[in-house]
Structure 1
Amino acid sequence: MKQEKLELIIPVSSIGKRADVAIQDLLSNYSRAKIQEWIKSGFILLESKKISPKDIFMGGERVFIDIQQDEKELQFEPENIPLNIVYEDEDLLIINKQKNMVVHPAAGNWSGTLLNAILFHTPKNKALPRCGIVHRLDKDTTGLMVVAKNEITQSNLVKQLQEKKVFREYRAIVWGQVLVNKTIDLPIGRHPTVRTKMAINKNNGKNAVTHYEVLERFLMHSYLRCKLETGRTHQIRVHMSHNTSPIVGDKTYGLKKIIPTKEMSSILKEATINFPRQALHSFSLGLIHPKTKENMLWDSELPKDMKNLLDLIRSESSLSF
């Protein structure tokens, strides 16, 4: 079992929350059960004192964590999978993730993942928790991700994510004419009956904030810029679905039935209804370099499938503005 030491400050937004809940909010790559296990084993301390999962935080506490890397993580195999590398130095790896790629191995996807590709490209990352991965993109969401290449960088990036210093901006093609720019501030938690889905959960959900701006508006679709303030699982997809403007191609949170209109050609109807993935792309990523302290920002082009769909929508809309 390999360890990584991490120091976190409990934010004011966690006032009144249980210790296991507040810490899992900050370490979203790990399950609540795993956090509870570490607390009970003494791997998570408040200053130098042991805590209970049920302890209530008041905000501002300094928590020290020995992240335990499971032996099974050390057994993940490198695979020669091409990576679209946007930037790399001795500390960071910025990747433009392709569609149909799971980030981390899990049931049903034990190989062919981004983690397997990272291990081939940077073998020393095998010694890091999650092989240096500090945040995720859904399997069929494309775009920019950052991967740490050493423990100091990984701890620093986790802290930047905790303190909301990492800039993450997406592009999305959604159903409907979105009329105004808006901030959606609604908590997200597990769906009450379908455990593989997330949902708006005002009782037990985690704080989730998405800012969106309309870039283009069409007859039956809109093209949006979405900025994350938090990074919950499926956050943009859940928020936009709740906003009655679900992402085109989203089989989980999208429209169950499309009502065709005479303005929508059979070609466009076919292209949008059968778009093979959610039309969501991580477009911009910004952070403070852990070593140089330089503010760094990367942009990526819209992938070809989304670009082609957007061009088709534009060609059929006389109300684009």
Structure 2
Amino acid sequence: MDAEYRVGGQDDFELEAEGGDDAERRCADVDAAGHGERLDRWLTTQAPEFSRNHLQSLIERGCVTVDGKPLGKAAHKLRAGQRVEVELQPTDESRAFRAEAMALDFVYEDEHLAVVNKPAGLVVHPAAGNWSGTLMNGLLAHHAAAATLPRGGIVHRLDKDTSGVMVVGKTLAAVTALMRQISAREVHREYLALAWGRVEAPFVVEQAMRRDPVSRVKMAVAPANLGKPARTDIFPLGVGEVKGRAVSAVHCVLHSGRTHQIRVHLMHSGHPMLADVLYGGAPALGMTRQALHAARLSFTHPATGEALVLTAPLPADLAAAWAEIGAIGLPS
């Protein structure tokens, strides 16, 4: 009976490039060894450079046909002699490092580095759920050398919904020097925020932090022996009211750069940020994203040794909320 089967294995897989697309089509006949095999498992032998999960997603998207008919079930059992054709779309991850032209607001730029005023809503690094349209994609389009640098030259990050200044290296030497400054805490980052409650005197939050043991999307304060050291200095800039509830404008100075540090430290001190729903801050004053802005960045230019101090004004949404409570600006 085996002699009647049409033999087709990985070496016999036919390739057909799709013009103007990153996809390619591959065709093969199921041989005796593939008889009774699950479609997704059989595809891993024909396209071993792709993960089984990715091949399953291609099946679900209708990119695989058996004898000319689309099959959406990864568990479909194949029969010897069937003709399988798959359109191999690149993985989302493989698209992450593509140049994408976008309007970027640079507050400083030379041949060594750039400082960008990141808008709220722009993701910094490609990751699950955001494999394109990120700041890194924009940097790859902005200057060709970014493709040769780790993470396109990005040396620190801001949360998606946090606006403000970020420094980016444009050469490997600049990236290395900036990362060393950050590690030595020689890059100074100052933020403006609106928080619930009455803040009328400066205070310091010095609480170690770690990933929240219950929710992996959150960070949390932790005992010193279980977390990483983190300190935030907080200064009042004004107090107003929203429907009888106090709202404070604050100036936050980082002494470390932990993920979500200001958001967690404000929540821990009883002053969650406006519209920071993840950490218990209710929306108000028209804010629909966390009321946090990276307003000032100070560091030493890695090539010239010049002391640079770069600032970015409050974006429209936060500026309107700021004015509504009559807060003062960033101190000099």
Does TM-score exceed 0.5, indicating one fold?
yes
Equivalent position of 2:264 in the other structure: 238
- Structure 1: which 5+ runs fail to align? 1-71, 257-269, 316-321
TM-score where L is the length of structure 2: 0.67
State the 1:166 CA deviation.
0.5
Native 8 Å contact 2:95 2:132 kept in 1? no
1:173 is aligned, of 194, 204, 219, to 194
How many residue pairs get matched?
230
Equivalent position of 2:29 in the other structure: none
SS in 1 for 2:129: coil
TM-score where L is the length of structure 1: 0.69
Equivalent position of 1:34 in the other structure: none
Equivalent position of 2:47 in the other structure: none
Equivalent position of 2:218 in the other structure: 197
Q: Which amino acid counterpart does residue 139 of structure 1 have in structure 2?
A: K
Native 8 Å contact 2:275 2:284 kept in 1? no
Inter-partner Cα distance in structure 1 for 2:157 and 2:317:
21
Does residue 1:188 correspond to 2:209, yes or no? yes
State the 1:75 CA deviation.
5.9
Does residue 1:249 correspond to 2:275, yes or no? yes
Inter-partner Cα distance in structure 2 for 1:222 and 1:75:
39
Equivalent position of 1:122 in the other structure: 143
State the 1:218 CA deviation.
2.2
State the 1:313 CA deviation.
2.8
SS in 2 for 1:218: strand
SS in 1 for 2:296: strand
Native 8 Å contact 1:214 1:223 kept in 2? yes
Does residue 1:296 correspond to 2:317, yes or no? no
Inter-partner Cα distance in structure 2 for 1:74 and 1:149:
22
1:105 is aligned, of 106, 126, 133, to 126
State the 1:290 CA deviation.
0.5
1:58-109, Cα deviation, whole Å (9 max, x unpaired): xxxxxxxxxxxxxx68961111111001110000110000010110000000
> Larger Rg: 1 or 2?
2
Native 8 Å contact 2:194 2:273 kept in 1? yes
Inter-partner Cα distance in structure 2 for 1:93 and 1:74:
24
Does residue 1:223 correspond to 2:249, yes or no? yes
Inter-partner Cα distance in structure 2 for 1:162 and 1:73:
30
SS in 2 for 1:179: coil
Does residue 1:92 correspond to 2:113, yes or no? yes
Does residue 1:311 correspond to 2:323, yes or no? yes
| Cα separation, partners in 2 of 1:140 and 1:75, compared to 1, 3 Å | closer
Inter-partner Cα distance in structure 2 for 1:254 and 1:75:
32
Native 8 Å contact 1:74 1:127 kept in 2? no
- Structure 2: which 5+ runs fail to align? 1-92, 328-332
SS in 1 for 2:186: coil
Inter-partner Cα distance in structure 1 for 2:207 and 2:194:
21
Equivalent position of 2:177 in the other structure: 156
Does residue 1:282 correspond to 2:303, yes or no? no
Q: Which amino acid counterpart does residue 156 of structure 1 have in structure 2?
A: A
SS in 1 for 2:297: strand
State the 1:312 CA deviation.
2.2
State the 1:115 CA deviation.
0.3
Inter-partner Cα distance in structure 2 for 1:311 and 1:254:
23
Equivalent position of 2:42 in the other structure: none
Q: Which amino acid counterpart does residue 225 of structure 1 have in structure 2?
A: H
| Cα separation, partners in 2 of 1:75 and 1:180, compared to 1, 3 Å | closer
Inter-partner Cα distance in structure 2 for 1:201 and 1:127:
38
Counting aligned pairs with the same residue, the percent is: 43
1:222-281, Cα deviation, whole Å (9 max, x unpaired): 10110111000000000000010011010111236xxxxxxxxxxxxx743x62100100
Native 8 Å contact 2:287 2:318 kept in 1? no
